Structure 1
């Protein structure tokens, strides 16, 4: 039955999304309402107003409970993201309440996030107790875009992107290698062309990760796709799956060495793009001061 759109639009609140998520999780309007301490009538009214505001049904109702429509699944995905963002907001505000005087915003690619920054950031924060670091992973190209809009204090990118308009300093060498189950590693010396690997099944990080996006873009240059048997959240999990002979992977050499075992082996990639440098970036027209300048000097000093 078509929904009536002639009513005054309802502004969907974060509480509406919280109620909707509870109902979706419970599979029942009654149980969902109970879980958020609402009456059945109040929860039903909120749902109806949301559906009118969006112009589409969010739930399929039956005597056995409710199921999400395609629109409902999309809304639930956004509701989850919003709840996570709100949790981050509360955490950051709590830091100010506890007397934290400053936050340095750092954006970086996958290799920097997983391999190089954790021990360095730990040492720096121990020495700077009144400071927080907002550290986030993005694709190198997205890091540059954010830096040009001055959305962060420091960025770390691979040198395949164009950094015109930004100040850069060398941070680390970052060579990518092909990691194989030991029994499947080609018995050859030297390196292996990336194109030769595209016939193999892969394991890797989620598609939105910087490293996955970079590798996918390289495959596109060959007019090929990559068959991922599974994607997981950490490089440690990727290597574990390679060791179990699920597939091969493209990873930083530092990761392969850190997680070396008799069950895996690796070869350098022959392609020039696999031999990368990581660069520290700052906005050219911005003068870093205080904690941000101290962190930049610390990170660039670690490269020496």
Structure 2
């Protein structure tokens, strides 16, 4: 495995600032496996690209590439830089997009983090109305599990959070947004027990279909299974609750989803069963920082969501 070697930093390198263009060049070279190909993609001569890469290595104090007649291969340091460079480039693109919005008259951008139920069932219709009546405000919406929403809120990286009330919201302002109940979807064919309530333990060993493992709902259900010393077997994971319901209707497995989604997706081919576990009935809470005044856009959205609740 190619290893990085420390390089002597040139005098004055401590104050050297990395040019984002050089990070893009390095990414292009690493992707192509060739300085020549990377230089061509970045519209540079071979000598100019080589000089920029050497300066970047000296600035960072480590060799980034192993050069040979066959091309180049990133060192350990090069792979680390490539990983960070990709994230930095995405952040820069997001920054340019947001600043462009300001230049075109968008005065506010509100970052909202929420769990699966809020993202899929409650917010879409509400945000549509809000955005139409507030053309000067953009909303940056992202789904996370409730614990991750709180962690990000406490680091002041979001304006508004929506979480389920099973998490500790100490240190944040909260108000009730919605009640969220979880239910079991089963294929109607072969379901003999009517619509009586089930305990999670009754279904935990059955094959599931669900959302991606990183979704807030999937992580929450997995945590509940682990508390019982068990795990969930997912036959397949899909991107939307609509797709989950379709797979349940086809008999691929069962699913646990918000009751509001079940009401929307109900059909003659699906049996909906309440979950009897106490944790299956949750309140969704709007969260904001205690000691930070929200900006005008965030205050307007918070007021709108509070009134809608």
**TM-score higher than 0.5 here?**
yes
1:200 aligns with 2:206: yes
8 Å contact kept, 2:195–2:274: no
- Give the aligned partner of residue 135 of structure 1: 141
**Matched residue SS, 2:110:** strand
Query: Could you tell me how far 1:272 is from its partner in structure 2?
Result: 1.0
**Matched residue SS, 1:103:** strand
1:167-178 equivalence runs, <5 A: 167-178=173-184
**Matched residue SS, 1:96:** helix
Give the alignment partner of residue 228 of structure 2, picking from 196, 202, 222. 222
Q: State the TM-score, normalizing by the size of structure 2.
A: 0.79
Q: State the TM-score, normalizing by the size of structure 1.
A: 0.80
C-alpha distance 145-2 of structure 1, shift in aligned 2 (>3 A): closer
Q: Deviations over 1:238-271 (max 9, x none)?
A: 3344444444332212222223344443322221
1:4 aligns with 2:5: yes
For the pair shown, which has the larger CA radius of gyration, 1 or 2? 2
1:110 aligns with 2:116: yes
- Give the aligned partner of residue 90 of structure 2: 84
C-alpha distance 23-192 of structure 1, shift in aligned 2 (>3 A): farther
Q: Deviations over 1:1-53 (max 9, x none)?
A: 75431332897654344334434554655444433323445556666777785
Q: Distance in 1 between matches of 2:63 and 2:235?
A: 35
Query: Could you tell me how far 1:212 is from its partner in structure 2?
Result: 2.0
Q: Distance in 1 between matches of 2:192 and 2:50?
A: 62
8 Å contact kept, 1:156–1:278: yes
C-alpha distance 60-164 of structure 1, shift in aligned 2 (>3 A): same
Query: Could you tell me how far 1:62 is from its partner in structure 2?
Result: 8.2
Q: Distance in 2 between matches of 1:58 and 1:200?
A: 50
Q: How many residue pairs were aligned?
A: 302
**Matched residue SS, 1:254:** helix
- Alpha-carbon RMSD: 3.5
Query: Could you tell me how far 1:166 is from its partner in structure 2?
Result: 2.9
Q: Deviations over 1:173-208 (max 9, x none)?
A: 111122234436564431222223332333333333
Q: Where in structure 2 are there 5+ consecutive unaligned residues?
A: none
